[in-house]
Structure 1
Amino acid sequence: MRLDQIQMRDPFVLKEPSEGRYYLYGSTDPDIWQAKGIGFDVYRSRDLEEWEGPFPAFRPAPDFWADRNFWAPEVHAYKGRYYMFATFKADGVRRGTQILAADHPLGPFRPLSDGPVTPSDWECLDGTLHVDGDGTPWMIFCHEWVQIKNGAVCAIRLSPELDRAVSEPVTLFSASDAEWVEPVSSPKNGTGYVTDGPYAYRCTNGELLLLWSSFKQGRYAQAVARSASGGVLGPWTHEPTPLFESDGGHGMIFRSFDGKILLALHTPNRTPDERPVFIELAEEDGRLSVCDS
């Protein structure tokens, strides 16, 4: 299969050097909004052009707590295993990010944490792993706008085993802190400012950037924030314009085997037309830009 044949939101690429392969994960249920959750599929490739799959990376056991909104799986290699951070929801349970684990990128992934690691009384989504300079693991995630109106990006320290939170959450910034972000409205949730899809990226000069997504002029857009301290707690400042604003976002960055810096995101931001795309980036002095095509 090619990327334009794969319906997927929130694409995430794991590069596995030992196999010379890339693994592509994302929100792969045909209807992630209303239908009962099916699970997460994964595709694999050697050249980023032709993809094998789908393979079932995660399917819920009959007693799994969540039944909907299976969103945004990320898979990270960490201490010899593979850890999936993914968002789930059920009636009477706040949306949150749970951590799952497997011995191979294809899975099967099984729950590691006891339910969501995000605060139980918060509506949260899109948890991502960040390991800081001294080896401490953090989960960066979004406190959702549907609950607090001005969506926030937050961080919480994890245990060395990645199975639980070991600190209180810290708010890193709010959506409206970026000057270009504009509010969205829905009949159910009213009006507010969106934060989606955080992903930490360490530049070659040591600067720490954070990708996240919001809306500009009604279109999904890819934002970039910068840590003044070089650490996860910031303080964070925001690039004055989006990195990508053509109705696409929820991005992450990876390096191809031939050394290219690639931004993976989905576009357009509408179901069922969303597709994963890879966009080559240039990095200079801690700044990212889209390469001329």
Structure 2
Amino acid sequence: MKSYNLLMILVVLASLISCKNNEKNEIVLPKYPVTLGDPFIMLYDNVYYAYGTNADDGIEVYTSDDLLSWKKASNLALRKQDSWADRWYWAPEVYYIKEKNKFFMYYSADEHICVATSDSPLGPFAQDVKEPQLADEKCIDNSLFIDSDGKPYLYFDRFNDGLNIWVAELEDDLKTIRQSTMTKCINVSQPWEEVWPRVNEGPYVLKHKEKYYMTYSGNSYESPFYGIGYATADSPMGPWTKYDKNPIVQKPDSLVGTGHSAMFTDKNGKLRIVFHAHNNPNNIHPRLMYIADVRFSDDAVPVMSITGEIIKPVIAY
């Protein structure tokens, strides 16, 4: 045990010595990537909040001022005891709803879609009623979209014919699904999506120049060919038409397993996209968070593309 402790001390000293010192001889500590799968970023009150899949007992949250350096909150945003399920907390998305003065977290637990609320973006988020939004059916990746007329919709994945994406209207409580409105959006239909297995998942919808854009991921998250495509529609309920040059993200900059994205507007009004990739070409976990820019062309039907240098966020100590 003593020799082990000595070895650890030597490793730490070697790491510190190897770090580059600035002009004031201050030690610059090593930087580590943000390990979040299915990441989502919200800008609120001039602070960025990142949520994602990582913890076994809930949902983590990180904060940043610049999208580059992040700090992990000491407490979970969502804890196991505040959710109906006791495992598999995935793909959280968080929105501040001004009319309700609440933060809403949409997330998956034990392969069911759920929603929890909080008075703070840091949590704790909790379910008022500890049950899924669809109690009798496995679904994942629920994503909120509120149209310009104030009408709310929920997009999510259903486990029928592989994974495919559906939409439904929400009641004004932003929790209750109007099941009679459930409508299929997209399923596996393009060659790039057919590597393995039958998966269209991780929807995120925004509106641009009266056109609705849905980003989604194809192939299994375990596959190095996991990627991001998009579809367009004239209504939140569809019908949806996939972009014929999909995917728009697949194996960029030597990354593999790139997918499950969401979009947000940064402090300068620039539209960004956040997604995860495998830890490295040989290991899936823990997945890492990345950020890039989103651009729309000037065509009659604007084409969406991912541009600019890909940002690799790091943990700040």
Q: Judge same fold: TM > 0.5, yes or no.
A: yes
Kindly indicate whether the alpha-carbon contact (under 8 Å) linking 1:4 and 1:276 is maintained by their aligned counterparts in 2. Answer: no
Show CA shifts across 1:238-281 (max 9, x none). 01221101120000111111122211000127542411100112
In terms of fraction of residues, the more helix-rich structure is 2
Question: 1:103 — aligned with what?
Answer: 119
* Correspondent of 2:151 among 127, 136, 157: 136
Identity score, percent:
25
Residue type of the alignment partner of 2:156: F
**Offset at residue 292 of structure 1 (A):** 4.2
TM-score, normalised on structure 1?
Answer: 0.83
CA distance in 2, matches of 1:43, 1:273: 16
**1:248 counterpart (258, 261, 280):** 258
Structure 2 CA distance for partners of 1:179 and 1:201, relative to 1, 3 Å: farther
Residue of structure 2 equivalent to 1:196: 201
Where in structure 2 are the equivalents of 1:1-293 lying within 5 Å? 4-16=32-44, 19-29=45-55, 37-55=56-74, 56-61=76-81, 64-78=83-97, 79=99, 80-89=101-110, 95-118=111-134, 120-144=135-159, 148-168=160-180, 169-174=182-187, 176-184=188-196, 192-203=197-208, 205-215=209-219, 219-227=225-233, 229=234, 231-240=235-244, 241-246=246-251, 247-268=257-278, 271-285=284-298, 286-293=302-309
Q: Larger Rg: 1 or 2?
A: 2
Q: What CA distance in whole angstroms lies between the structure 2 residues aligned with 1:292 and 1:47? A: 16
Q: Structure 2 CA distance, aligned partners of 1:14 and 1:173?
A: 26
Give the Cα–Cα distance (whole angstroms) in 2 for the partners of residues 2 and 272 of structure 1.
Answer: 20
Q: Secondary structure at the match of 2:77?
A: strand
Q: Which has the higher strand share?
A: 1
Gaps of 5+ in 2: 1-28, 252-256, 310-317
Q: Runs of at least 4 residues of structure 1 off by over 3 A?
A: 1-4
CA distance in 1, matches of 2:143, 2:202: 8
CA distance in 2: counterparts of 1:180 and 1:158, whole angstroms: 32
Of residues 236-245 and 53-62 in structure 1, the stretch that sits farther from structure 2 once superposed is 53-62
- 1:131-176 residue CA offsets vs partner (Å, 9 max, x unmatched): 12321211100013xxx233211012211112322233211121x2
Q: CA deviation at 1:28?
A: 2.0
Q: Helix, strand or coil: the match of 1:180?
A: helix
Taking structure 1 as reference, are residues 2 and 177 closer, same or farther at Cα in structure 2, changes over 3 Å only? Answer: farther
C-alpha distance in 2, partners of 1:136/1:113?
Answer: 23
For these two proteins, the number of residue pairs brought into alignment is 263
Q: Deviations over 1:82-113 (max 9, x none)?
A: 10001011xxxxx2110000011111101135
The answer as to whether partners of 1:154 and 1:172 remain within 8 angstroms in 2 is: yes
User: Structure 1 pair 40/234, CA: closer, same or farther in 2 (3 Å)?
Assistant: same
Does the CA contact (< 8 Å) of 2:102 and 2:117 recur in 1? Answer: yes
CA shift in 2, pair 1:242/1:135, >3 Å: same
Give the aligned CA root-mean-square deviation in angstroms.
Answer: 2.2
Post-superposition CA distance 1:31-76 (Å, at most 9, x none): xxxxxx31111011111111122342111218x4312111011101
Paired letter, 1:133: S
Q: Distance in 2 between matches of 1:77 and 1:45?
A: 17
Give the match's secondary structure for 1:291: strand
